[in-house]
Structure 1
Amino acid sequence: MSRKAKDRLHHIHARAGIRQDGLGSALGPELRAIWDIADDAETGRVREIVLLRLNRVLTQFADPLLPEIVWTAYNLGVDPAEPGGGMVGRLKGMVGHGRVPVSERTCTRRFYRFLDSVKKSLDGEQEAITDEDLGVASRWLTGNARPGPAIPEPAAAPDELSAAIRGLRAPVPPVLRMFLDGRVLGPADGAGGPLLAGLGPRGDWFCVFTGERLLAEYRAATGAGWSRTGRWSGRDVVRVAAGRIRPTGVLVNPSPVRGSGIDAALPLPPEEIARLALDR
């Protein structure tokens, strides 16, 4: 039973990944039994359980690039309008867009190392999945968002950084370090990276926020219709901005009202991004 279930794991990342039609059938009865998926479960519930089972294995890895590789392979956080390339196409696109600083071959090798761990996990006891777990997975799938850190970040961390930003006349090393080491969130593009905002003569910028409340207030005030949001480390945002051909800055906690609230924002122009990218 376990051997047949392990063989079926290869069907999950094929074609449209966890978004494929008939995902339950692709798993087969043996894998469904091990993962406690009812034979008549709706597709949405199947996807939720599969996502949770995979994520529980993924959290055992310390490799910082692996979540990007794994969820791209399974088609989560990837533009669902382009599922036709399969896993190979998705990984190739990820590398081509500079989302990871390694080759496609390295990505594939790391993915199959992860898959070997998933196979081994089938031989052990499967931790029960709660209704709360399913609710979280449902939100990830609905928002096409990848699972965040296994341990929630302290609520005080975003407020601390926001407070440190207020009143700055120029970026100072301690605040920049907080930004680089912390987590930010903002509108995401189809590949799951920060969404670019072209500001005409003021150049290209990534706009990110240090907390959910600030993002929600901005969205409510501006009526921004972003289809998805993402969460990244400050270093990741700097890396993506520095890797673009056109000079790109990062605006932390932009004000929703033009001409006001600049004291609460941290602008990092392209020249500062270039310096941070070299110093990270």
Structure 2
Amino acid sequence: MVASAKETKTSRRAKDRLHHVHARAGIRQDGLRRALGPELREIWGIAEDAEPGRVREIVLLRLNRVLERFADPLMPEIVWTAYNLGVDPVNGGAGMVGRIRTMVGRGRVAVSERTCTRRFYDFLGSVKNSLDGFQEDLTGEDFRLASRWIAENVRPERERNPSEPVPSVMRMFLDGTVCGPADEAGAPIPARLGAHGEWLCVFTDERLLAEYRAVTGAGWARIRHRTGREVVLAAAGRDAATGVLVNPRPTRGAGIHAALPLSPDSIARLAVRR
């Protein structure tokens, strides 16, 4: 797991380096590792001795995790053109502005260059915000896919159309009722778990909640019932990247993996699909 807390000096510097990623030849530029800078490499989990190919794969995967939060069907075309993936190699070195201009000129999108640029910077703002929060682990399958996307110069496939149903277990959580701590206004109270960021703790059974409070001594004055969907939307609507822990274990120090963790990235995708 790679994680960071709220904005720090490290994340501020990392955000500044993001503008180097879409410059020149984008993710295919020589010296991409150097362009990222040490702070962005640290947050994204890029080892000091990572090969150039692995650096590109990690950058692609981190960007794609943020892109998956956007329901706008134009965003993949705009974003990957900006970062030089799925672009004609003849135009690959034209820089972000040149690549977007060529994309618009060839009629690949039905909006203006100005609109494309604005939407790209909307995306970049979301990438910056993501640097303050939880970074999901990358798996061997993730790297296999990223390697193919780069080698074949193709864009990542969307995991699932937002209109398609989510898996049945997750649907049960979204439609079911859970309980958890709330403030005076009735809003969920986040737990701040150090380097793991902020999480909303909810329980699918009042007995599990009672056991947790008895063992940990959690001094929650108010408990509120709400649907899983309402919890997801509450987490997605917070300024800080926030995940949801379903049925956290009452053992102190058990960590987030002792519960069912829905990371901020997962919350963002569920909020889009709702």
TM-score, normalized by length of structure 1?
0.53
2:134, 2:44 → 1: CA distance?
A: 10
1:78 aligns with 2:87: yes
Q: How far does residue 32 in structure 1 lie from its aligned partner after superposition?
A: 0.2
Q: Report SS of the residue matched to 1:135.
A: helix
Q: How far does residue 29 in structure 1 lie from its aligned partner after superposition?
A: 0.3
Q: How far does residue 84 in structure 1 lie from its aligned partner after superposition?
A: 2.9
1:106 aligns with 2:115: yes
1:87 aligns with 2:108: no
Q: Report SS of the residue matched to 2:160.
A: coil
1:5 aligns with 2:6: no
- 2:45 counterpart letter in structure 1: D
1:54 aligns with 2:84: no
1:22-66, Cα deviation, whole Å (9 max, x unpaired):
100000000000000011211100000000000000000011101
Q: Report SS of the residue matched to 1:84.
A: helix
Q: Report SS of the residue matched to 2:141.
A: helix
Q: How far does residue 72 in structure 1 lie from its aligned partner after superposition?
A: 0.2
By relative contact order (CA 8 Å, sep 6+), the higher-ranking structure is 2
2:90, 2:101 → 1: CA distance?
A: 16
The aligned residue for residue 39 of structure 2 is 30
The aligned residue for residue 160 of structure 1 is none
1:84, 1:45 → 2: CA distance?
A: 21
Q: How far does residue 5 in structure 1 lie from its aligned partner after superposition?
A: 0.2
- 1:24 counterpart letter in structure 2: R
| Identity fraction in percent | 74
Indicate the RMSD between aligned Cα atoms, in angstroms: 1.3
Q: Report SS of the residue matched to 1:77.
A: coil
The count of aligned residue pairs is 153
Q: Report SS of the residue matched to 2:91.
A: coil
1:82, 1:90 → 2: CA distance?
A: 6
TM-score, normalized by length of structure 2?
0.55
The aligned residue for residue 132 of structure 1 is 141
Query: Which 5+ residue runs of structure 1 have no aligned equivalent?
Result: 153-280
1:142, 1:84 → 2: CA distance?
A: 17
- 1:88 counterpart letter in structure 2: V
1:208-254, Cα deviation, whole Å (9 max, x unpaired):
xxxxxxxxxxxxxxxxxxxxxxxxxxxxxxxxxxxxxxxxxxxxxxx
2:79, 2:28 → 1: CA distance?
A: 14
Q: How far does residue 80 in structure 1 lie from its aligned partner after superposition?
A: 1.8
2:90, 2:108 → 1: CA distance?
A: 19
- 1:131 counterpart letter in structure 2: G
1:126, 1:84 → 2: CA distance?
A: 30
